[in-house]
Structure 1
Amino acid sequence: MTQTADLLDPPMADDPAPRPAEPAPPAARRRLVPPEKLREIAIGAGSLAIGVALWHWASATNLDWIVDFGNIPGPGKVFAAFWGHLGTEIFYTHILVSMQRILVSYLMAVVIGIGIGVMMGRSRFARACITPYIEVLRPIPAVAWIPLAILMWPTEEASIIYITFLGALFPIVLNTLHGVEQTPEVLVRAAQSLGASRMAIFGHVVLPAALPSISAGLAIGMGVSWFSLLAGEIISGQYGIGYFTWNAYSLINYPDIVVGMLVIGFLGTLSTAAVRVLTAPLLKWQKRTR
């Protein structure tokens, strides 16, 4: 039996040595920033550099053609003023107060605006009742609300938050309404035929379909809220970046006016980008369906 086994199964020593497994080719490293995005960033940076250079040239030569740059400070003076404010505590107080007002009013607008938009999109009765108020109040600028807001609310802080809330509310309501209305009716009927409840249809069909429009409305509402906040701070306020800018104008401090404007633009851009980042995880399904 041993010889038979040896014939059927020769010694392992006669077998060629097994080849070592070849290492798997290294996976292509994913770049943190795609080349297309890097190119867009480079183009944007170059465009900004050209804009700053033109600004410097116009203010240095006192350009007076269509727009008068005679009293407009150049980038150097504005940067020097900004650098000086970075060492003062009051400057950070203005920024923090404005950001706090934006946070409170914007969160209120998000909750109420999405709720109203969903009701208007899913109920004809609610749309008929609410639409007249939206259409009448929406065109009123934030500055026009200031006297009435001061009379309506007991404190200036509450009136500023109210004005900022109104600015963010209407874009969120209208974009939410648009998103809900654009939900494919075929998907709703398919969910109903499968026995889905109204809440299940809303959570799994209506809301995902409306999320792109809601996300756009949140970003637009953030930008409009900054505009409304500054209008309130200019007229009634002791702190805030809007008050800082208006106070600089009252004191004929031209560099600080531009500093306030640029800080407002930076904060508005940063907050809008934050909204897009926070809503991006909710829109991952769009990439998977492409």
Structure 2
Amino acid sequence: MFEMKLEFFHDDRNFPFFIQYGYHSGDFFKHVHQDFTELVIVMDGTAAHVVGNEAYTVSKGDVFVIGPNTVHEFKNSHDFIPCNIMFRPEFFFEDMYQLKESPGFHALFFLEPYISREYQFKNRLKLSLEDYQKILLLIDKLMKEYQERQDGWKEMIHSCFMEVVVLLSRRYHMPEKTEHPGALLVANAGSYIEKNFKKDITVGEMAEAACLSERHFSRIFKETYKMTPLQYVIQLRILYAASLLKNTGGTITEIALISGFSDNNYFARCFRRYFQMSPGEYRRSHLD
């Protein structure tokens, strides 16, 4: 099994982004992404996308996301032209708090890669002609910035890529019928958590947002996000606090409270467990 790494395509470790057009006829070998997520937008042609042991046809206007550790390949392609955008979500999405409140964002960029890995998932995003034209203009802009690399090209790519992500998230509608409806319902809970993680929310409230029983919700959430709902809440609070430590002058106690921690000692323990340093050490490391 061939394992692809982002460094095969792009050598700037401080900016984990790569974009290209692919041109395929016939078969494209089976492989797995080791350390990046891939957003695929089909520009033209057709192919059979094989994920695990399942295959489905993709064609112009189809959009899908392939997460790390997903074995996939393309077969029987005919004039198949995908736009491949390879990136690390933690780099681009870390501070996108409002975007993370969108159920479409959670479904497309967090849940669909999981569903694609475990199930045949045919209800993918299909762009309308109008949206296809909008995305095409943004892709052309991304390609131009990436290839020419003029002053400020990374900032331009970051801005333009976020525009692509927002547009796709707005257009993503979760299907009423799918082979794995529970995972898609978790997207609603993900949106609810992003909006309320600074409050004292319970697993019961999260499950209610997903229209699932608490037990069923907790099981599906852990399968999808690889952590419990409360662990996810703590992670969001820690990341939010880290952003405030870097970008504001608030005291550590104030930042702990703003981020949802009522106990400063508990905040310090959680923070150290996540970053291997205290909040004060973290702040000083970003002042140097």
Shared fold (TM-score greater than 0.5)? no
Q: Which fold has the larger relative contact order, with Cα–Cα distance below 8 Å and residues 6 or more apart in sequence?
A: 1
Superposition TM-score, scaled by structure 2 size: 0.22
The structure with the greater share of residues assigned to helix is 1
Q: Which structure: larger Rg?
A: 1
